[in-house]
């Protein structure tokens, strides 16, 4: 089958969750299907992107969006009913190019990642699948609680527009998938149960236990320009760490990941390192005794947790991230809500290395039982077979 993959970003390198998900889905689906990749690009294209992606796709079409176009598109969206998330990526000249590409390549099926690009294909008479991945409306609603007052009116408008758009987009596509059941339950459509849950996997041949000297007690990873990660880093350093420091003044924390926002950079201290981009995130996981993901806002399954558990690092997270994971609390992973609860869990794992090791092994086994890219992508294959 010929599949036309339409993505809001070039899916390499895989430093962001949507890019990671798309890359591995393409990699698995390419075993049985011919893939035409069409990806929007609003930044600098990585030099390895085309060579790596060419291993899995027949044709690649990169459609660049200029900074001027982004500003113009956002301005137009502001005075429409479209969410800014959609307006950012929607350009009328690109719409013509995408339509021409689809007419030229004659795909059997269109696979569309995220509602950000759904507008481009909603009226095209070809069988289509939408990967919601996350529920953007809920993510914006959670940001409302912690945002400065001057942003709240804009976020409220965006929240309402996203609610309507996520509901309407459901009916434009023949099949819908999403990353977790908690996310599916938040889609504002009466038939949301028809959305198929397709979780992320882990490349367990890559993310596996490696021996390194433990330079850090704690590590938190992710794209550090992403609001939920910025919020988590601040909560970790400003609220959780002071409580741990009372008992363990020499504790060391590593915050690792691309594009650190200024709000993250200023968290550096004698106890806190901020690395920025790292070529191999496995080194960051392996150098730490405990992985912590105190996610307060955002939605979806956290790839960082899957990777840390696959590397046999004991993990602590929030109820928000835990519910999507479906692991066993206090066996596979520890869960905390307040800064005090997090601090107690951290000290417990650091002071009881044998129990921390048992939890790390439990988490490792849980990932191997439940999170495989091959198994999850097979669910997409089943939908395509219903073509």
CA distance 360 to 309: 7
Q: What is the pLDDT of residues 179-223, one digit of tens each?
A: 999 999 999 999 999 999 999 999 999 999 999 999 999 999 999
Domain at 2-200+372-385: CATH code: 3.40.50.2000
* Residue 46 phi, psi dihedral angles, 5° rounding: -65, 140
Q: What is the pLDDT of residue 387?
A: 63
Residue 354, pLDDT score: 98
CATH of 216-370 among 3.40.50.150, 3.40.50.970, 3.40.50.2000, 3.30.2130.30:
3.40.50.2000
Q: Which secondary structure element, helix H or strand E, spans residue 4, and what is its range?
A: strand 2-7
Low-confidence residues in the chain, pLDDT < 50: none
- pTM of the predicted structure, to 2 decimals: 0.86
The CA distance from 243 to 162, in Å, is 38
In degrees and rounded to multiples of 5, residue 263 shows phi and psi of -65, -25
Angle at 235 between CA 230 and CA 239, to 5 degrees: 155
CA distance 32 to 10: 22
C-alpha span between 247 and 349 (Å, rounded): 13
What is the four-CA torsion angle of 104, 64, 91, 103, rounded to 10 degrees? Answer: 0
Range(s) for CATH 3.40.50.2000 in the chain? Answer: 2-200+372-385, 216-370
C-alpha–C-alpha distance, residues 133 and 21, integer Å: 9
Task: Read off the pLDDT of residues 124-152 as tens digits, 9 standing for 90 and up.
Answer: 999 999 999 999 999 899 888 888 999 99
With contact defined as beta carbons under 8 Å apart, do 343 and 245 qualify?
no
The predicted pLDDT at position 95 comes to: 97
Residue 12: per-residue pLDDT = 96
State the number of CA atoms in the 13 A half-sphere of 118 facing the CB. 25
């Amino acid at each position: 089958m010929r599949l036309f993959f339409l993505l809001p970003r070039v899916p390499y390198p895989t430093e962001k969750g949507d890019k990671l998900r798309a890359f591995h889905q393409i990699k698995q689906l390419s075993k049985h299907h011919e893939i035409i990749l069409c990806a929007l690009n609003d930044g600098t294209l990585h030099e390895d992107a085309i060579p790596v992606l060419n291993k899995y796709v027949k044709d690649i079409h990169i459609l660049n969006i200029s900074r001027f176009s982004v500003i113009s598109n956002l301005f137009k969206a502001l005075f429409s009913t479209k969410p800014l998330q959609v307006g950012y990526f929607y350009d009328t000249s690109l719409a013509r190019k995408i339509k021409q590409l689809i007419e030229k390549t004659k795909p059997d099926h269109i696979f569309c990642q995220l509602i950000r690009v759904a507008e481009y294909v909603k009226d095209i008479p070809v069988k289509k699948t939408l990967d919601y991945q996350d529920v953007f409306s809920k993510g914006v609603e959670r940001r409302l609680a912690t945002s400065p007052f001057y942003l709240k009116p804009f976020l409220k408008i965006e929240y309402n527009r996203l609610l309507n758009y996520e509901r309407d987009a459901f009916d434009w596509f023949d099949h819908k998938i999403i990353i977790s059941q908690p996310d599916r339950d938040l889609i504002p459509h009466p038939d949301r149960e028809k959305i198929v849950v397709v979780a992320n996997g882990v490349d367990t041949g890559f993310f596996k236990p490696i021996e390194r000297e433990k330079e850090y007690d704690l590590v938190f990873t992710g794209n550090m320009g992403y609001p939920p990660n910025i919020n988590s880093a601040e909560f970790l350093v400003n609220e959780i760490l002071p409580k741990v420091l009372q008992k363990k003044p020499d504790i060391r924390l590593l915050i690792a990941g691309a594009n650190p926002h200024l709000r993250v950079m200023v968290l550096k201290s004698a106890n806190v390192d901020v690395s920025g981009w790292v070529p191999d995130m496995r080194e960051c996981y392996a150098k730490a005794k405990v992985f912590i993901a105190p996610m307060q806002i955002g939605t979806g399954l956290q790839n960082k947790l899957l990777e840390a558990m696959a590397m046999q690092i004991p993990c602590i997270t929030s109820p928000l991230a835990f519910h999507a994971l479906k692991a066993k609390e206090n066996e596979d992973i520890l869960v905390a809500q307040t800064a005090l609860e997090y601090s107690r869990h951290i000290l417990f794992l650091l002071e009881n290395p044998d129990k921390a090791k048992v939890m790390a092994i439990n988490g490792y086994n849980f990932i191997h039982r439940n999170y495989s890219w091959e198994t999850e992508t097979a669910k997409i294959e089943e939908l395509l077979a219903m073509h």
